[in-house]
């Protein structure tokens, strides 16, 4: 599996990821924060077949490019956890009404649940339900990579003060789900730089406060 990170929305520095299987050339876009002709061109140049567009959660800073990429790649299926699916449709739910004229996405074609598996060539993308930042937050685990959305950051965690957020739930998602992954798993968060599960287990001050 190959991946590349793009910053499509400078105000929020959201990480959009292109993830693809070199053998089948099947690919997924994770959190297209904004439309991007540059990313579209790159996908065409690599001759990738965008099978899925996946939102790790429904906040406006992660979904703003859904409409553009669904239209650009009409065979792709838009996926989000069922608990966040309505956020796609309403700026007051995805919170974009507070900074923008309002982000509205097409409806999701696939509503995900924890334990679901999406295939990319021979690879299995495992959907892990990691609520706490939003009710339908997910992480996507494949190979030695986990795309963690706004659940876990390098030395940080997602906000829990927004609607649907819950601090205890978020900490539980990180400890009981993400920290059960192998320590060398690379964490690719929704904002900021990449890290590993092992590093966050040792050094994340929010999840390891009992040792500080
Ligand atoms: Zn968020
Ligand atoms: Zn975010």
pLDDT digits (tens, 9 = 90+) for 25-81: 999 999 999 999 999 999 999 999 999 999 999 999 999 999 999 999 999 999 999
Report the C-alpha gap between 24 and 20 in whole angstroms: 9
Please report, for the chain, the start and end positions of each structural domain, with discontinuous segments joined by +.
2-211
Output the CA 52–ligand 1 centroid distance in Å: 20
User: Looking at per-residue confidence, does 101 or 152 come out higher?
Assistant: 152
Query: 126 CA to middle of ligand 2, Å?
Result: 21
Per-residue pLDDT tens over the stretch 179-207: 999 999 999 999 999 999 999 999 999 99
Q: Identify the sign of the CA torsion 184, 151, 117, 35.
A: negative
On the question of pLDDT at 86 being above 70, the answer is yes
Question: 15 has which bridge partners?
Answer: 7
How far is the centre of ligand 1, averaged over its atoms, from the C-alpha of 51 (Å)?
24
- The C-alpha atoms of residue 48 and residue 150 are separated, in whole angstroms, by 27
User: Distance between CA atoms of 121 and 20, rounded to whole angstroms?
Assistant: 9
- Residue 156 pLDDT more than 90? yes
CATH topology of domain 2-211: Metallo-beta-lactamase; Chain A (3.60.15)
Whole-number Cα distances in Å, 206 to 134, 179, 194, 211: 18, 13, 17, 10
- Average pLDDT in the 84-91 region? 98
**Residue 9 alpha carbon to ligand 1 centre in Å:** 13
Q: Residue 208: its pLDDT value, please?
A: 77
- Locus of tokens 């050339």: 25
What is the reported pLDDT for 209?
A: 57
């Amino acid at each position: 599996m190959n991946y590349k990170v793009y910053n499509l929305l400078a105000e929020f520095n959201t990480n959009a990821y292109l993830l693809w299987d070199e053998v089948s050339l099947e690919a997924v876009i994770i959190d297209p924060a904004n439309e991007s002709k540059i990313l579209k061109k790159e996908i065409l140049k690599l001759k990738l077949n965008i099978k899925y567009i996946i939102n790790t959660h429904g906040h406006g800073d992660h979904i703003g490019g859904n409409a553009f990429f669904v239209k650009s790649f009409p065979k792709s299926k838009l996926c989000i956890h069922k608990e966040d699916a309505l956020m796609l449709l309403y700026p007051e739910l995805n919170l974009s009404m507070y900074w923008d004229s309002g982000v509205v996405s097409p409806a999701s074609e696939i509503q995900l649940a924890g334990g679901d598996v999406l295939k990319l060539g021979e690879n299995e993308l495992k959907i892990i339900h990691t609520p706490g930042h939003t009710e339908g937050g997910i992480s996507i685990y494949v190979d030695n990579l986990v795309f963690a959305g706004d659940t876990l950051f390098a030395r940080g965690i997602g906000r829990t003060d927004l609607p649907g957020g819950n601090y205890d739930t978020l900490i539980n998602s990180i400890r009981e789900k993400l920290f059960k992954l192998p320590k060398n798993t690379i964490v690719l968060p929704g904002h900021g730089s990449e890290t590993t599960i092992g590093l966050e287990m040792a050094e994340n001050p929010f999840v390891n406060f009992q040792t500080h």
